[in-house]
């Protein structure tokens, strides 16, 4: 039987890879997306504008305008950091004999996590819908439920549901967790 005829066969989604190490299995996700290219242009214009704004404010002695600009300059610095992270960062979900861990690198990012594998009772995906005046954005998260029935977020910000569902299925398969329905779970 061909792999495509097997209902359990799941193709590897874009930006994901499975890495087998001597003592672990790693699901690696690269962050690079079309958003990264847009943010290069946006961050460049934002920061050029803020340099001009602050220069004018300081040269004219309008300190309140310069102080106000410094808040926006901080946003510009974050935009640069985030844009670079989108190009270079990866997330590893590493499962070894003892732990399930999530690590983002090489640039530090929030969300680092380590859970003993015997505490993982269920893994599931959630859809997160964010609405504002102009548009709606949909992202996906991967969560687990631990032995104490507490929810822990493993990953967030996934723009492709197939990535979230692949990660859920692989983690469950590796840990031998039987897939059960969870309230609020996203199923395609």
Ranges of each domain in the chain: 16-30+98-175, 35-86
Give the percent of the chain with pLDDT over 70: 95
How does pLDDT run across 124-133, given as a tens digit for each residue?
999 999 998 8
* Closest of 116, 115, 96 to residue 155, by C-alpha: 115
Q: What is the pLDDT of residues 138-176, one digit of tens each?
A: 999 999 999 999 999 999 999 899 999 999 999 999 999
The reported pTM is 0.85
Phi, psi (deg, nearest 5) at residue 39: -70, -25
Token pair belonging to 5: 């005829």
Which of the two residues, 4 and 182, has the higher pLDDT score? 182
């Amino acid at each position: 039987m061909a792999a495509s005829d097997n209902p359990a066969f799941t193709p590897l989604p874009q930006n994901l890879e499975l890495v087998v190490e001597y003592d672990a299995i790693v699901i690696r996700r690269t962050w690079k997306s079309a958003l990264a290219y847009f943010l290069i242009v946006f961050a460049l214009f934002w920061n050029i504008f803020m340099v001009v704004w602050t220069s004018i404010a300081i040269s004219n002695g309008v300190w309140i305008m310069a102080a106000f600009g410094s808040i926006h300059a901080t946003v510009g610095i974050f935009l640069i950091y985030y844009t670079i992270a989108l190009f270079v960062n990866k997330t590893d979900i590493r499962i070894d004999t003892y732990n399930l861990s999530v690590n983002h690198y090489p640039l530090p990012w929030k969300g680092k996590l380590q859970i003993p594998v015997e505490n993982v009772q269920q893994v599931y995906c959630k859809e997160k819908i964010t609405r504002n005046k102009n548009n709606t954005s949909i992202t996906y998260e991967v969560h687990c439920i631990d032995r104490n029935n507490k929810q822990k977020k493993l990953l967030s910000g996934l723009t492709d549901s197939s990535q979230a569902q692949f990660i859920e299925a692989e983690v469950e398969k590796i840990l031998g967790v039987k897939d059960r329905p969870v309230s609020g779970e996203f199923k395609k």
